[in-house]
Structures are given as structure tokens and as C-alpha cells.
Structure 1
């Protein structure tokens, strides 16, 4: 399939994503196709482990373009997303110029303005993820866990997404020749501002149903016994629906649990091996204690 064809329509996109191991539903495939077609950022919210980050990775793989990832965290600043200057190399350049002048006093080294221009040449520029995405487009820019950043960073990001350009005082404006496909993810630890949401297309990713989650496991882990895969998915589905957990397991945890059981040589999920490997599926002590107390019932169901 030609690279231009993989985004022909939502159905073709869904089929293409499936070839990378990412199984999307109709709603997600449609909103992703619209984000590409309308050149709008895509904001994905949902519980951890529902495949938000994996979608960006699958899109980059499907289209054969770079994936540029910006991992957000508390206290992140615009400079850490945009660019920095390579100070050690700039200092080394100054020393080289100084050494050349001392070795040959008659040699014309240049005036201060020329030297300053050399120091802030593009070769000394260290591009951070947002600037890299503008320079390397077409690409997929993944802004992961935007809800962990603060309001100021959110406002900065909104400005970049509105103009697809960055102004660097020493060099001028760098503008993307083609807007990157931007995927923002949020675990909803805080509400994002309406201004950013208005700029984006939005989709809430739910945990998949039984059939689709089983298909994901079978696609991603074909080596896992079919019966074991079905049992793991069945238990995870019941955990989400019935167990009232602090953090229900996501698809990522389902895959980890199935992978762990396969590594142990298990072909079925019995209470003993389930209890021993539960740490692959749940990450809170309270959740693990609650599940162990009802494993027999869940496995019987």
C-alpha cells in the first residue's frame, strides 16, 4: 500500500493500524483520520493503559515517518520543549578563534558582531521535541501526559499549534513546511483549558470490550496459548467491572500479564499462578489484596 493511501479514509486507516498491531474502533479511526485531513491536533483522554500513546507510535510506523515524543511533567518549561544552545561547543569555538588570533596576529579574525553571528549559528542549536517536529515534518508529534504540565506551558503549546512556527531571536522564525500530526494524551489528572481543547479534535478512549481486547492480545502476542489469552482477558474484564479498584488494569497490563504467564510456561490461569503473577496486572497493594481474596470466584466465572 502506498504511503499516501494509508490515510485514504477511516476504514483504510483502521485496517492499516491493524497491520501494526493496533486495533482501533470506528470512532477512534474516524477522529484520527479527521485530525490528519483537517490538520488539527488530536487530544486523547482516558485511563492509563488504554492505548493513547500506542496510537501515535502506530501512526508513525504506518506512515513511515518519524515519531517525536515530548514527555510532559510538572515544572516543564517552554525552553525544554523548544531549543537550547550548545554552550560547550560555543565556548570551544571561541577558544579556537582566540587560538587562531594568537598564532597569527596579522590574521583578520572579524569583529564582535561577526563573532556573535557565528556563535548563534544553527550548527550550535540543540532542537528539543517541538522544534524538531517543525523541522522534521512530516512526522508525528506525541505530547504525552499534557495534564502533568502547568497552565503556562499549555498556553505556550497552544501558540505553537496555532501557527506551526517558532521564533528564535538569534535565527528568526522556523516554520513547518508541513504541519506534523500532533497527538496529545491526558490521563485527566487535571482539566485542560478550553482554549487548548478548542484547538484540538477530541476523543475519549474507553477500555475495550471482551472481543476487541482478546483480538489485541492475539494480535500482539500470537505466541500465547489461545485459552490462556481468553482467560486472562476474561479476568481483566471482570476486574474492571466488579472489583472497585484504585487503578483498574489497562490493555498494557493485560498484555504484560499474558506475557508473564507465557514466560512461566502456563497454559491456563489457575489461582496459584494468577496470585503469583498479579503484579503484572495491578500496581497497588490494596488492589492486589482485594483481588487475591476473590480470585477463586473470578476464575470460576
Structure 2
């Protein structure tokens, strides 16, 4: 059964901002779906939204544009942004992890064996999203083979789709949306993402709405970490955000092979809390600073080569010295 909406929520309430001024608040309304769906993503209450993304998302959710493309580096939160918006708006998401071995038929569905022994049709993610009124999320779209990407050209602007195997005509629900993410869509840094395919102009032209997603600010990353790891000392959370920012800049300049993702800083923060246990304030700070090296080692340094490791430790020690923290990585 398709879900419908005629309820609305305000951007400040939905996404965790301080109340907007009345003069602009009415313009911050987002459609909230009625009825529940098992396909709605789980809400991450520690997720930090960025205002600069939400006006573009608002156009998309209201249907001014049906398709949206998010591009940015790995770990900038492209997929999570769509999922967490959907979680607040009660919007079903049918996610597809794109890869080079995909066939277009996987998007449509297949004839399958039913429990009673008969055969029947099982919707693929594209048809399910069209039928129910949800988001087809194409994660890392530029990994798709050209022939599959070509098959999506029609789907990206389709209002109806005929299933060849059954002859059924599926009309796209008014809530049907397509969200896509990708690395190096603009070609910048493409060599860092093995397996990506150059997308044709016809496919990209279906996306007339998009967001270039950058890494979050140090302050936003600190807020995310403290939400995910309540026991982390504020100064330690700030240190982790600072070294992540440093590593990302170093990676963009070629000094490091890869950046740090928010996933890695959050994992580090969560593990560091085990070093301080029930300690608080200064004792917690000292314990977490002392545990920094083994924590970073088990989280990501274990898989870094010697050159990256040496450069990172040198720069991270410099950050600790600047912040006046008793941290020495050796």
C-alpha cells in the first residue's frame, strides 16, 4: 500500500536547529509522510544536519525536481544525508549499492518461487519505489556499467513503466524520488576511485538538482562525536576532529594516500571512552590522551603504510602540541 502525505513539519523541528524566525519559518516546511513503512531508515539521533544542504533537499522532497545527485569524497556523508532526511520525513528508501557487475533487470525485479510452490513476480527496487512512493537510492552511481546506466535514462524521467515479464503497467506514485551519490562525478580525483565509470551526458542531464557534499566542519564533527560517544572529553573530541581535518587537507594535497572519514573519528571516540571508564573531567582527559595511540592504531593506523603513518603521526603530534594536550604518538 502506497503512503501519502499532506502533513508538514518545519525544518528547525525536524532537523534539530534552533527555532527559525517567524518571518522565514513558514518557508521551511517539509512534507512528512503519513503511515509507516518497514523501508524507512532508522533515525540516528546524533546526526548533525547542515543548513546549506536543506534548501536543495526541500526542492526535491516537495517534487520541484524528482531526481537529486550528491557528489563528494568518500566519507563526506552523501548516502547518510539522504537516509537521515528520509528517517525524519518517514520516507521509504530502497537502496542499491551500485557495482560493475550489475544488470538492469536487478532494478526491475524477477519471477520467483512463492511459498506455495507457484511462481510470482517480485519487485526490484526501482519498481518498488515507483509503486509504494519512496526513494530509489543509487549509492555510488558511477560504478554502474554504461549499459545499465543507459537503461536508467528512461527510469529517471518515467511516470509509468511496463514490466516486460508480466505486462503490468506501473504508474509512478507522486512521492517517487530518485537520489544518487557518486565520487568524482566532475572528474576531479577520479584516479583515487578504482572501478568508477564515466557517466554519459544523457544520464547526468536527468539530474538538474544536486549538492556538492564536503566534509563537515570541525565543530559539527565534534557535535557528532559527542552524540555518538557521550563519555568522550570535549578536548579529546576536538583533537580528533582537528586531526581528521588535517588528514583530509593532507590527502587533497597528496601528502597522505587517504583521508579520515567521520566513521573513523566516531569509532575512535567510542573506543577512547573505554580508556576512561567512569572517570570525568581532568582524569578522563588524561586517560583518553594516554590511550590515543593504541586507539588510533586499532581503528585505522594498522592498515596504513609506513610513509602515510609517519606523515600522519608527525602532523598529529603537531596538532596536539598546538592544542596543549598531553598526547605523543610514536
Alignment map for 1:105-124 (pairs within 5 Å): 124=120
Alignment map for 1:171-250 (pairs within 5 Å): 171-188=167-184, 189=193, 190=196, 191-200=198-207, 201-242=209-250, 244-250=255-261
SS in 1 for 2:156: helix
The equivalent residue for 2:34 is none
Q: Give how far 1:19 is off.
A: 8.3
The equivalent residue for 1:297 is 318
Q: Which runs of 4+ in 1 moved over 6 A?
A: 16-19
The equivalent residue for 2:265 is 254
Deviations 1:107-135 (A, max 9, x none): xxxxxxxxxxxx5xxxx111121111112
The equivalent residue for 1:166 is 161
The equivalent residue for 1:149 is 144
Cα distance change, pair 222–3 in 1 and its aligned pair in 2 (3 A): farther
The equivalent residue for 2:304 is 284
The equivalent residue for 2:36 is none
Whether 1:57 and 2:83 are equivalent positions in the alignment is: yes
Whether 1:83 and 2:109 are equivalent positions in the alignment is: yes
The equivalent residue for 1:116 is none
| Distance in 1 (alpha carbons) for counterparts of 2:275 and 2:6 | 40
| Distance in 2 (alpha carbons) for counterparts of 1:165 and 1:261 | 52
SS in 2 for 1:183: strand
SS in 2 for 1:203: strand
Q: For structure 1, which segment, 283-292 or 149-158, has the greater mean C-alpha deviation from structure 2 after superposition?
A: 283-292
Q: For structure 1, which segment, 223-232 or 273-282, has the greater mean C-alpha deviation from structure 2 after superposition?
A: 273-282
The equivalent residue for 2:280 is none
SS in 1 for 2:243: helix
Q: Give how far 1:11 is off.
A: 5.8
Cα distance change, pair 5–152 in 1 and its aligned pair in 2 (3 A): same
Q: For structure 1, which segment, 247-256 or 285-294, has the greater mean C-alpha deviation from structure 2 after superposition?
A: 285-294
The answer for unaligned runs of 5 or more in structure 2 is 18-29, 31-42, 185-192, 278-283, 323-330
More helix by share: 1
| Distance in 2 (alpha carbons) for counterparts of 1:149 and 1:26 | 31
| Distance in 1 (alpha carbons) for counterparts of 2:48 and 2:268 | 19
Q: Give how far 1:279 is off.
A: 4.5
Cα distance change, pair 276–26 in 1 and its aligned pair in 2 (3 A): closer
SS in 2 for 1:163: coil
SS in 1 for 2:241: helix
2:97 to 71, 88, 91: 71
The equivalent residue for 1:25 is 50
SS in 2 for 1:162: coil
Alpha-carbon contact 1:35-1:41 (below 8 Å) kept: yes
| Distance in 1 (alpha carbons) for counterparts of 2:273 and 2:318 | 23
Deviations 1:12-33 (A, max 9, x none): 6644799843323232111111
SS in 1 for 2:211: strand
Alpha-carbon contact 1:43-1:183 (below 8 Å) kept: yes
Cα distance change, pair 155–284 in 1 and its aligned pair in 2 (3 A): farther
Aligned residues: 267
Q: Give how far 1:256 is off.
A: 1.6
**What's the TM-score, normalizing by structure 1?**
0.77
